[in-house]
A and B are shown apart, each in its own frame.
Chain A
Amino acid sequence: MTTSRAAELRRPPLSDRAWGPRLLGIALLLALLFHGTLLSLGSFRGTFDADVHIFFADHYARAWFDNWEPRWYTGFTVTSYPPGSHMMIALASYLIGLSWGFVLVQTLAILLLVVGVYRFSRLWVDPAAAGIAAVLCALNPALGEAVHTFGQLPTVISLAFLLNALPFLRMWLLTGRLLPFLAMLSGFAATTACHHVTTLFGSVFFAGPVIVATLVAAFRHPSPGENASLRVAAIRSTLLPLILRRVRRTTPMLIRLMVALAGIGASLILVDLAYWLWSSSDPITQIPIPHASRDSYITNLNAGLLFFVVPWGPWILTLPYAVWKGLSGKGWPLALSLMLLTLLGTGGTTPLPKMLLFGAYQILTLDRFAFWATFAILPFSALFVRSFAGGMLARVMDAQLGRPARRAIQFGFLAAALGSTVFAVTLTVFRPIEPAAVDPKPVVEFLAKDEHWRYRYLTLGLGDQMAWLSAQTTATTVDGNYHSARRLPELTSTPVERLDGAKYTGVPGLGSLQRFLGMPERYRLKFVFSNDRFYDPLLYFSGWRQIGRLENGLVIWQHDDIPPLPTVLPTKEIPFWERLLWGILPPAAIFGALAMFLLSAIAMLRRARGPRFRLLDGDRAARPWSRIDRFLERHSRIPVSAGRVPVRDWHVWTSWLRPRLPRPAAPRIQRARAGLLLGLSLGIALGGFRFLHQPPTPDGTIRAYYVALDNHDFTAAYAMLNPATRPSPEQFNLEISVRGGLLGDAYAKLDKVDVAIRTRTADKVEATATVTWTTSLSSYVSTDPMELTQRGDAWVVEPAAGPAPLQGDEIVSIPSIIWNQRGRRSITDSVTPYADVLDRPHLAVLDARAVMLNGQIAVVGEVLNVSSTPAYLTIGGTLLDIHGTGLVDGAAATVMDHTLAPGESTPFRIDFEGIPGAATRDLSAVAFVPGAYTPLDADILSQIDAINVGVRAVVTDLAVDPAPSLSGLRLTRDATGACLLSAQVGSPAADAYSVPRLLVTTYDASGRIQWVASRLLPYGIRAGGLADATAAIDPAPQTLSLPINLAVNGVPERQNANIPHPAGVAAPAGCGASTVAVRADAFPSAP
C-alpha cells in the first residue's frame, strides 16, 4: 500500500469538497420531507405561538395598511411586532388560506435556514463539513422543538435570513463589491423585518464572530508593497511599525465595516420604524410576565427539559469538542460566541445571564439563546460527526476501547440524536402543552349570528387556540395572546399573560379575571366560552349563566344587561406615512433579500463580478485615503536587520490545545475499558430508575394521594388506600362522585400540600394535611386528618368515612315554578317590537351604607325584588369626588345573589379596590400578594365625597328554586373569643348543589346592615342531603358618613326602610354585631 493510499484511508468519510452541495441537497430534501410533512399534517396546531402569528397574518390579510387591531385587548397597534413573517402568511393566504399559508412560509423558512447554515458553516469549515452541518440543521432537535412545539416562525425565518446574509458581509468586508453589500444589507433588513431581536443579538453572536474572524485574517494578509517574507519579532523598535502595518492591512476593511454597520443600523431603524416609534412612545411598562426560561433549570426540571435538554439533545456532549475545535483553529470567535450563548441559554440556573443582560433579562425569553447556540455549534458538530464516524475520534475509540465498543457508542449516539429529534417534534404528543384541539367553527358561527359580535367575548381554558379563533371572527375580546400589547391597567399591572389561562398564574391571574367577570359592563363583555370547569363557580357567583353547550364542547356563559359596543370604536392610528412605511418596507426587504440572494447565486455560478464601490475598492490610485495609506506604509517599514532577532511564537495556547493521542491500548485493556463503560452506563441507568421508583415516605404518600385526586386519577388514588380497609373501587368512585363540590369536582387546582406528622409508630402514622387549593374564587385551605398504615415497603392511606345516608322518604314531590320568557313573539329579523320587551323588574333597596373594614372601602346593602317576575340583578358603584367626577368603580360581583325570585331579597357588598400598579411606574412596588386587597391610593381616599350606587335588573327566566335550607343556625364564641357561625346547609330542591355558599349579613343594634361576607362550602350537597358549615364572623366595620346617591334601574330613588330585613340570630356579646342573618345559595351541579 502506498503512502498516499494510506493517507486517503485515514481521511475521515465525507471529506471530499464535492460532498458539500450533495449534502446540502440531501439536507433540503430531508427538511422538506421531515418538517414539511409534519407541518402539513398540522403539527403547528397545539403549539404555543403558531396561532398568534396566524392571527397577526389575518390582520394584514384584512387590512394591510391599518395599524389598529381592535379584536384583542380592546384594541392594540400591530406595530408592536415586526410584520415580515406575518405579511408573508397574509400574502400566501390570499391563495391558499391562513393555515396553509403558515405551513408554506414556515417550510420555506426552514429550507432557507438549511441553506443559511450551509453558507454560514462554509465560513468556518470545508464544503463537505458544511454539508454535514446542513443535514444536522434539518435534524436539529432545537429546530424541531421551535417549529413543532413552540410554533415559532419569526425566530426561524429571521435566523435564516441572518445566516444567509453573513457570507455576504464577509465578502463585502473582503472585496468591497456592491453586490455582496446589497445582498448583505437586504439580508439584514429582511431579518429585521421578521424579528428585530435576531438582528440585535444575532449581530453580536453570529455577525460578530464573522467580522472578528475576517479582521483577524486581514491582519495576516500583507498589504501591497509590504515585505511579507520578513518575519519580525515584536521588540521595542519594531512595535510601532508592526502595529501600523496591521492598521494599514485592516483600514479598508474597517471602513467597509463602518459602512456595513451604518447600513445595518439604518435598515434596523427604517424597516421597523413604526415599531421603534411605538416602543419609544408606549414603552412596555408592565409587570414582567414570568417565563420558565428565567427559572433555574435545576429547581424547575420541566423548564430545564423544555428549554435546555430537548433543544440540545445529545449534541450537548459535543460542546467540549466544539469549543476545543474552535479555539484551536480559525473558528475561535465562533467558539467564544458559542460559549456565551450556551451560558445565556442556561436561563436562571446561574445569576450570570441576569448580570450580562441587565434590564433585558426580564423581557427576553432566554430559550432563544439555547436555540441560537444549537445553530452556532453546527459547523463544529459537523466536524465532530466526521471525526466520530471515521476520523480521529473513531480511531481513538478503536485504539482505546476496541472496535465493538466504538460501534456501540456510535450507534448509541446516532440513536440518541435521531431519538431526540423525534422526541422534540412530538413533544406535544407526549406532554401536551395546550388543551386538546377545539373546533372554533361553532364559536365563530355563534358570534356571527344575532349580532353577538356587537359584544366582547372571553375564552377560558382554550389556550393558544384562542388566537386561531380570533383570526376567524371580527368579534372582539378583552383578552389577547400577545402580552406586550396589553393596554388595560387591569392586565398590565399583573403578571398574567392571558386571562384564558388565569388559573395557571395563581391568584394574580384569577384576581385579574375576577375584575373582568365582576364588572363586565365596563368592557361590554357579554359572552364567555369556557373549556374548563374550574372557572364555573367564579362565573356563576359573578352573575354569569350558562346558556348552552356548543357542538365543540365549549360552554357558553352569558351576562345579562350588557350594553352593546358602539358602532365606531376608538382607535389609535399612527400617521399615514408610518403606516405606509410599515406596509411597504418589511415585505420589500424580504423580497429584496430573496432577489439579491438569487442574483448573487446566479452571479457566483457565472463567476461574474459585481461592480465595486469606487470609494472602497482596492485601486490604490483612487483611494481618497491614499495619503493615510502612504503614511502608514512609510511608518510601517521595518529594516531588514530587524529580521535577525529570533521570533518567538506567542500563540502559546495552540500548543496547549494540540491533541495528544494516547498510545493504543492492548486488547485486554480495551475489553476491560469497554466493560467498565458498559457497567457505568448500566449503573447510571439503574440508579436513575431506582431514584425514580424509590418507596414513598408517609409525607410523600399523602402528597401523591392529593396529586392523584387533583389529576382525577382515581385509580391511582384508590391504589394508595389501605387494601384491608378500603371500600370496593366502585364504592370509592361513588363516594368521590357524590362528594363533589368546590374541592371534589374539577373546580379546584391543587396548589400545595403541607404535611404535619402528629404521631408515628412503627406501622402507623397520624398526620394532618393542610392542603391549599386554588379555586377560581380564591385560595381555599382544607385541613384534613390523615391516617397511614405501613404495608411492606409502602405506606397506605386509611380511607375516610363515606357520606352520610339521606334522611326521609325514598321519593318526595317538590313543586317548582318554571318561567318562560318568550322573546320575540313574531318571527322577524327586525328590531324586537316594543310589546315584546319586558320592563325592568321593580326593586326596593332596603339599606345601603358605606363602610370600611381593614382599610377596605365598601358599600353594603340589601335589595328586595318587589316585582312579579324573577329579576337578574346587577349592582355597581362609583366613588365620586367633590365635583361628582368618578374616581373608582366597583361592583357587587360575587358577594350577592344575582337572581331573585319575586319577593326574594339579597344582601350585597360593593368592594372598591385599587388597581395594582396603576398609579406608579415602579414595577417592583406592585408585586401581587395572593388574596390581598389592593387599597385605594391615599389621594383617592382623600377626595371621596359621595358614592353612586346603581341597582338595576332585567327579567330573567332562570329557574329560581327555593334557597338551600339552613338549620341549626347558632352563633358561638371559641376559646380565642372569635365569633363562629355554625349551621347545616341542606338541599330541599330536586337539584344537587355543587358549590353551596353562605351570605352572612351582620346588623347593628339599630337594625342597619353592617357587613356582608361570602363563605363557600368546600364540598357539594346531594339532593335532599345536609352538610355542616362553619363561618367566621368578620369584626364590625367602621361606618363612613358618605352620602349615597342611589339609582334603581337608572332612576334616582331612596332607600325603602319600611321593609324589615330578615330576622337573624342574636349574636353573643363581643361579636361586634347585634344580629346575624344568613342566606344560602348554591351553584347547582354542572349539567
Chain B
Amino acid sequence: MRIRRPSLLAMGALVGVGLGLLIVALVVRGYGSTSACAPGSVGSLRIEAPAQVVAGQPLDATVVLSTEVDDVPVAVTVIGPFRPWSVEVRTVGLTAQIHLDAAMTREAGALLLDARTCRAAGSRSIMVVPGDAVAPVVPLVGPKRIVADGVEHAVVVVIPRDNQGNVVAAGTSVQWRLRLADGTTTTATTVVGGLLAWLGIGSHTTAGRTTVAAVVGTADGPTADLFEIPGRPQDGYAITLVTEPTITASDGAKAVQVAELRDAFGNLLVDGTEVTLEVADPDGSVRTLGGVLNAGAVQIWVRPPAQAGISVAHAVVAGSRSAPLSIVWPSPGAGRLVPVTATLDASIGVVTIGVGPVRADLGAYPPDGTPAWVVATCGTSWSTQTTIGLYAGVGQTRLAVPAGMGSCVATVATAAGSGAASFNVP
C-alpha cells in the first residue's frame, strides 16, 4: 500500500502533539519527583524563637532536632498575615538556623513558623507587634461643616501607624488639641481601639473654624478643620430702604437693603446666601426679586408698580421671613393724565391702543423703557392685559378682542400717570 506524503506528515504531527501533551501532563503532575527520605532522618523537632517581635525587626529562630544528624533538609514555611514564604535549611548537628529579615516581619499579627523534615514536623507561633506611632498622625473630620446651633456634631478620627504602616496597638493614648471658633483651646484624650481613635465634637453657637490636632506619643501631624456655619435667621429681622447715600434711579426704583443678616445665635450669614424679596403691590399683584448676600448685605432694587400706593415687602432667607417694610409710591398727581387712544379694526377683531405722549417730571418724556401697563376690559366678563415699554414717551400695542363684547375700556397706567380710552366692539 502506498501512503501519501501529506498523510504521513499529518500522522507525524498528531503523534508529536500527543507526546508533547503527555510530557506536559507528567511535568505538571510532578512525575518522577519522588520524595524519598534521606537515610538517618530524625523523628522529632522543635523551633526555638522569641514569643514576639516588633514589626520591622529581623527574627532569628532555631530548629532543634532530637538526634544529631548533619545536612538533613528542613523545609521551613513562614505563614504571615498576608503571604506565605518557604525556605529550605540544612541541619548542622542538632540544629538548623532560620533567619527572617525585616521585610518578613513588616506586617503586625501572628507569624507561624512551620518546619518539616520528611518524618518530623514542628511549628511555633510568633506575635509581630506594632511599633510606636510615627508622624504624621492625620486627623480626619467628618462632616467638615456643621451648623453652629449647639445640636449638630462631627467626629474626628485618626489612625496612628508605626513606621511599617501598622496601626499602633489598641489602648495607645491619643491626645486631641482643639482650638474652637471663639478662640479658646481645649484638649481631650482617647485611646486607640478597633484600629482607630476618635473624638466627637459637638457644635457650639459661634460660627467659625475649629482646628483639631492629634498627638500620639511623640508623633504629631497636620491639623484638620471643622467649620461651624451659621444657621437660618429667625423670623422678623429688619430690612430697610436705602436712604443714605441718596440713590435715585431714572425709573423711580428704590433700593431695599438687607444688612448684617444673622442667625439665631448672632452669627453673620455667609456670602452667597440667597435673599428673596417678596413685594405685595397696591394693585394686588406680587413681585419676587432675588439677590445674594455680599459682605453680609444685599441691596435689591424695586421698581415702581403699576399703581401708586404702598407696597409691602418681606425678605425671605432660607424660609425665614423678615419684618414687613412698607414702600410708599406717591401718586403722580391729578394733572398727570396719560393720553390713550383705542382704534378697533372690527374686520379682524384687533384693537390698537396707543399711549402717549407721556409727560413725567419737568414736563418731559419719561425715560425710554418706562413700562406702561395696559388693561382692556369689556364689562365684567372679559379682560386682557399686557405691558409695553415707552419709547420717546409713546407706545403702542395690539390686542385681539372677541366680537360682540360691546362697550370696552382700555386703561393705561405708568409711573408718570394714567389714562383710559373707550371703544365699542360690535
Q: Using a CB–CB distance below 8 Å, which chain A residues touch chain B?
A: 758-759, 766, 785, 801, 804-809, 815-817, 819, 834-835, 838-839, 842, 846, 864, 866-870, 900-905, 960-970, 972, 975, 982, 984, 988, 1026, 1028, 1059-1065, 1078-1080
Report if A838-B144 is in contact (Cβ < 8 Å); known contacts: A870-B272, A960-B274, A965-B287: yes
Residues of B within 8 A of A805 (CB): 368-369, 389-391
By beta carbon, the residue of chain A nearest B231 is A866
Q: B422 interface residue, CB < 8 Å from A?
A: no
Q: Which of A759, A804, A966, A1028 contacts B391 (CB 8 A)?
A: A804
| Interface bits B243-276 vs A (CB < 8 Å: 1, else 0) | 0000001110100000000000000011111111
Please measure, in the bound complex, the distance between the C-alpha atom of A919 and the C-alpha atom of B370, giving whole angstroms. Answer: 58
Please measure, in the bound complex, the distance between the C-alpha atom of A1063 and the C-alpha atom of B284, giving whole angstroms. Answer: 14
Report if A1063-B289 is in contact (Cβ < 8 Å); known contacts: A842-B147, A903-B273: no
Q: B285 interface residue, CB < 8 Å from A?
A: yes
Q: Which of B51-59, B121-129, B166-174, B380-388 contacts A (4 or more CB under 8 A)?
A: B380-388
Report if A1059-B391 is in contact (Cβ < 8 Å); known contacts: A839-B145, A901-B292, A988-B289: no
By beta carbon, the residue of chain B nearest A866 is B318
Report if A807-B145 is in contact (Cβ < 8 Å); known contacts: A815-B294, A816-B294: no
**A1032: shortest Cβ distance to chain B, in Å?**
15
Report if A903-B284 is in contact (Cβ < 8 Å); known contacts: A839-B144, A975-B381: no
Known: A804-B388, A807-B371. 12 other contacts (CB 8 A): A759-B347, A766-B348, A804-B389, A807-B367, A819-B272, A868-B272, A902-B274, A902-B318, A965-B288, A970-B284, A1026-B371, A1061-B319
Count B interface residues, CB 8 Å: 70
CB of B269 within 8 A of CB of A903, answer yes
CB of A966 within 8 A of CB of B287, answer yes
CB of A804 within 8 A of CB of B288, answer no
Report if A1063-B278 is in contact (Cβ < 8 Å); known contacts: A870-B272, A968-B306, A975-B381: yes
Please measure, in the bound complex, the distance between the C-alpha atom of A591 and the C-alpha atom of B294, giving whole angstroms. Answer: 75
Q: B230 interface residue, CB < 8 Å from A?
A: yes
Give 8 A-B contacts (CB < 8 Å), ordered by A residue. Answer: A801-B396, A807-B251, A838-B144, A866-B318, A868-B145, A988-B301, A1062-B288, A1063-B321
CB of A962 within 8 A of CB of B382, answer no
Residues of A within 8 A of B395 (CB): 804
Q: B198 interface residue, CB < 8 Å from A?
A: no
| Interface bits B372-404 vs A (CB < 8 Å: 1, else 0) | 010000000111011111110001101010000
**B131: shortest Cβ distance to chain A, in Å?**
24
**A839: shortest Cβ distance to chain B, in Å?**
5
Residues of B within 8 A of A868 (CB): 145, 227, 229-230, 270, 272-273
| Interface bits B208-239 vs A (CB < 8 Å: 1, else 0) | 00000000000000101001011110000000
Residues of A within 8 A of B382 (CB): 975
Q: B204 interface residue, CB < 8 Å from A?
A: no
CB of A1059 within 8 A of CB of B369, answer no
CB of B318 within 8 A of CB of A969, answer no
By beta carbon, the residue of chain B nearest A1060 is B319
Please measure, in the bound complex, the distance between the C-alpha atom of A988 and the C-alpha atom of B271, giving whole angstroms. Answer: 19
By beta carbon, the residue of chain B nearest A968 is B285
Residues of B within 8 A of A902 (CB): 269-270, 272-274, 318
Between A801, A864, A867, A965, the greatest number of chain B beta carbons within 10 A of the residue's beta carbon is seen for A965
CB of A967 within 8 A of CB of B285, answer yes
Q: Which of A766, A808, A1079 contacts B367 (CB 8 A)?
A: A808
**A568: shortest Cβ distance to chain B, in Å?**
23
**B351: shortest Cβ distance to chain A, in Å?**
13
By beta carbon, the residue of chain A nearest B371 is A807
Between A902, A1061, A1064, the greatest number of chain B beta carbons within 10 A of the residue's beta carbon is seen for A902
Residues of B within 8 A of A838 (CB): 144
CB of B316 within 8 A of CB of A965, answer no
Q: B106 interface residue, CB < 8 Å from A?
A: no
Please measure, in the bound complex, the distance between the C-alpha atom of A982 and the C-alpha atom of B275, giving whole angstroms. Answer: 23
Which 5 A-B pairs rank lowest in CB-CB distance, beginning with the nearest? Answer: A804-B389, A962-B290, A807-B369, A1059-B319, A903-B318
Q: B314 interface residue, CB < 8 Å from A?
A: yes
CB of B292 within 8 A of CB of A816, answer yes
Residues of B within 8 A of A809 (CB): 249-251
Q: B142 interface residue, CB < 8 Å from A?
A: yes
**B98: shortest Cβ distance to chain A, in Å?**
38
CB of B348 within 8 A of CB of A903, answer no
Please measure, in the bound complex, the distance between the C-alpha atom of A834 and the C-alpha atom of B318, giving whole angstroms. Answer: 30
Q: B115 interface residue, CB < 8 Å from A?
A: no
Residues of A within 8 A of B271 (CB): 817
CB of B249 within 8 A of CB of A839, answer no
Please measure, in the bound complex, the distance between the C-alpha atom of A58 and the C-alpha atom of B289, giving whole angstroms. Answer: 56
Please measure, in the bound complex, the distance between the C-alpha atom of A488 and the C-alpha atom of B371, giving whole angstroms. Answer: 53
Residues of A within 8 A of B21 (CB): none
CB of A817 within 8 A of CB of B145, answer no
CB of B278 within 8 A of CB of A1062, answer yes
Residues of B within 8 A of A961 (CB): 292
Q: B291 interface residue, CB < 8 Å from A?
A: yes
CB of B386 within 8 A of CB of A969, answer no
CB of A903 within 8 A of CB of B287, answer no
Please measure, in the bound complex, the distance between the C-alpha atom of A128 and the C-alpha atom of B343, giving whole angstroms. Answer: 84
Please measure, in the bound complex, the distance between the C-alpha atom of A892 and the C-alpha atom of B371, giving whole angstroms. Answer: 37
**A935: shortest Cβ distance to chain B, in Å?**
35
Report if A969-B348 is in contact (Cβ < 8 Å); known contacts: A903-B269, A1028-B387: no
| Interface bits B287-305 vs A (CB < 8 Å: 1, else 0) | 1111111100010010100
Report if A969-B272 is in contact (Cβ < 8 Å); known contacts: A807-B370, A867-B145, A1028-B387: no
Residues of A within 8 A of B391 (CB): 804-805
CB of A903 within 8 A of CB of B290, answer no
Please measure, in the bound complex, the distance between the C-alpha atom of A961 and the C-alpha atom of B289, giving whole angstroms. Answer: 12
CB of A808 within 8 A of CB of B251, answer yes
